C-alpha cells in the first residue's frame, strides 16, 4: 500500500518533520517518486515502528542507524543492549527501576550519598562515574551509590579534590586503553568465531552447540566473561595497591607503623602479599 508523507505520518504516529529528519540521517529509505509526488510504503511504516521500539529501549539514533542499515545484526543489538545497561521494555518498571532494582538521577544520587552535585558532575566528566541507560534515560545504580560514598570517604580523610580528580583522569585514560584492548581480544576470539558458527571451547565442553544461537552465545559469553574480568582486574589492582603501599611503609615508616601494618594485613587475609614484600625487603630487592 502506497501513501503520501502525511498519511505515513498519521499511520506511524510520527510527525512529518521527524520523517524527513530520519531520511536526512539515513534511518529511513527514500520514497518512490512519481514526478514531484513522493510515495511511501509498508516498509516505511515498519521501519518507523522499528526506530521507535529501539528508541524506547534506550538506543541512540547513531546506533539505530547502524542497526537498521544492517551494519549491526541481531547479535550485536542484544550485546549492545547488555553492555549499555539497556533494559527491554518488558523489564522496566519505569525510569526509577530496572529489573526490580532502584536507579537514580544524578541529583538523586547526590542527595542519597551526601556528595555535592557539582562534584558528581566533575567525576562524571572525568569518566569515573558512568551512567547506565534505563528506558532511554541516564540513571545510576546502587553500585554507583557505593562508589560515590567511597569517593566521599577519600575526601573526608583529607585527599584534595584536585588530586582526586587528577587521579581519576589518569585512571580513566589507562582503563580506557586497557578496555579497548580487551574488547578487541573479545571480538577476535569470541565474537567473530560465534558469528561464523565456530564452537568456543567453553560451549563444546558443555555439549552445547552454537547452531543459530549466535545471539544467545554472545550474551552467555558476556554474562560469564564480564564478572571473570572484573574479578581478575579487581584482584590484580588490590594486590598491586597493597604491595605498593607496603613498599612505601617499608621505606618511610617507623618500626611501629610497619608492625601495625603487617598485623592488619595478616588479619585481613593479605598475608601472601605481605610475605612477598617482606621477602623482597629482607633480600634488599
Q: Are 39 and 76 in contact (CB under 8 A)?
A: no
What is the rounded CA–CA span in Å between residue 210 and residue 203? 8
Q: Which long-range contacts (CB under 8 A, 24 or more apart) does 164-170 make?
A: 165/122, 165/123, 165/126, 168/123, 168/126, 168/127, 168/128, 169/126, 169/127
pTM exceeding the 0.85 threshold for the entire prediction: no
172 is written with which cell numbers?
Answer: 580513566
- Residue length, the chain? 285
Q: Which long-range contacts (CB under 8 A, 24 or more apart) does 172-178 make?
A: 172/126, 172/127, 172/128, 176/127
Q: Which CATH number does 5-72 carry?
A: 1.10.1660.10
Angle between the 214-252 and 271-282 helix axes, to the nearest 10 degrees?
50
Q: Are 164 and 119 in contact (CB under 8 A)?
A: no
pLDDT of residue 31: 93
Cα atoms found within 13 Å of the Cα of residue 259, Cβ hemisphere only: 3
Q: Which of 19, 267, 178, 261 is nearest to 277 (CA)?
A: 261
Q: How far apart are the first and last CA of the chain?
A: 80
What is the rounded CA–CA span in Å between residue 200 and residue 202? 5
Instruction: Locate CATH 1.10.1660.10 in the chain.
Output: 5-72, 73-158
What is the rounded CA–CA span in Å between residue 279 and residue 221? 40
What is the rounded CA–CA span in Å between residue 112 and residue 146? 10
The tens-digit pLDDT sequence of the chain (285 residues) is: 899 999 999 999 999 999 999 998 889 999 999 998 999 999 999 999 989 888 877 777 888 888 888 777 766 776 676 665 554 434 334 444 445 578 899 999 999 988 888 888 888 887 778 887 766 678 898 888 988 888 888 888 898 888 888 888 888 888 888 888 888 888 888 878 777 777 666 666 666 655 545 677 777 777 788 788 888 888 888 888 888 888 888 888 888 888 888 788 778 765 555 444 454 444 444
Cα atoms found within 13 Å of the Cα of residue 180, Cβ hemisphere only: 5
Helix (H) or strand (E) holding 195: helix 192-195
Q: Which of 188, 224, 189, 195 is nearest to 212 (CA)?
A: 195
Q: Are 123 and 129 in contact (CB under 8 A)?
A: yes
Which of 1.10.1660.10, 1.10.357.10, 1.10.40.30, 3.50.50.60 is the CATH number of 73-158? Answer: 1.10.1660.10
54 is written with which cell numbers?
Answer: 529501539
Q: Which of 75, 282, 109 is nearest to 191 (CA)?
A: 75
Region of 226 on the Ramachandran plot (φ > 0 left; ψ -120 to 50 alpha; else beta): alpha
| Complete DSSP assignment for 222-234 | HHHHHHHHHHHHH
What is the rounded CA–CA span in Å between residue 105 and residue 67? 28
Amino acid at each position: 500500500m502506497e501513501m503520501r508523507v502525511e498519511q505515513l505520518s498519521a499511520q506511524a504516529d510520527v510527525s512529518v518533520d521527524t520523517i524527513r529528519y530520519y531520511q536526512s540521517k539515513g534511518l529511513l529509505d527514500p520514497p518512490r517518486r512519481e514526478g514531484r509526488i513522493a510515495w511511501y510504503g509498508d516498509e516505511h511504516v515498519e521501519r518507523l515502528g522499528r526506530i521507535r521500539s529501539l528508541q524506547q529501549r534506550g538506543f541512540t539514533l547513531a546506533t539505530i542507524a547502524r542497526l537498521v542499515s544492517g551494519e549491526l545484526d541481531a547479535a550485536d543489538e542484544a550485546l549492545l543492549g547488555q553492555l549499555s545497561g539497556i533494559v527491554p521494555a518488558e523489564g522496566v518498571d519505569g525510569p526509577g527501576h530496572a529489573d526490580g532494582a532502584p536507579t537514580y538521577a544524578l541529583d538523586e544520587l547526590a542527595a542519597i550519598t551526601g556528595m555535592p552535585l557539582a562534584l558528581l558532575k566533575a567525576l562524571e566528566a572525568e569518566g569515573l562515574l558512568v551512567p547506565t541507560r534505563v528506558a532511554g534515560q541516564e540513571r545510576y545504580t546502587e553500585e554507583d551509590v557505593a562508589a560515590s560514598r567511597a569517593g566521599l570517604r577519600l575526601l573526608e580523610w583529607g585527599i584534595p579534590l584536585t588530586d582526586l580528580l587528577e587521579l581519576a583522569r589518569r585512571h580513566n585514560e589507562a582503563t580506557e586503553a586497557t578496555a579497548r584492548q580487551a574488547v578487541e581480544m573479545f571480538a577476535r576470539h569470541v565474537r567473530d568465531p560465534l558469528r561464523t558458527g565456530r564452537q568456543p571451547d567453553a560451549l563444546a565442553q558443555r555439549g552445547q552447540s552454537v547452531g543459530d544461537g549466535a545471539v544467545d552465545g554472545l550474551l552467555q559469553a558476556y554474562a560469564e566473561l564480564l564478572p571473570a574480568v572484573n574479578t581478575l582486574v579487581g584482584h590484580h589492582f588490590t594486590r598491586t595497591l597493597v604491595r605498593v603501599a607496603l613498599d612505601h611503609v617499608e621505606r618511610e615508616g617507623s618500626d611501629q607503623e610497619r608492625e601495625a601494618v603487617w598485623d592488619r594485613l595478616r588479619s585481613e587475609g593479605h598475608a601472601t602479599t605481605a610475605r612477598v614484600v617482606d621477602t623482597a625487603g629482607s633480600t634488599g630487592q
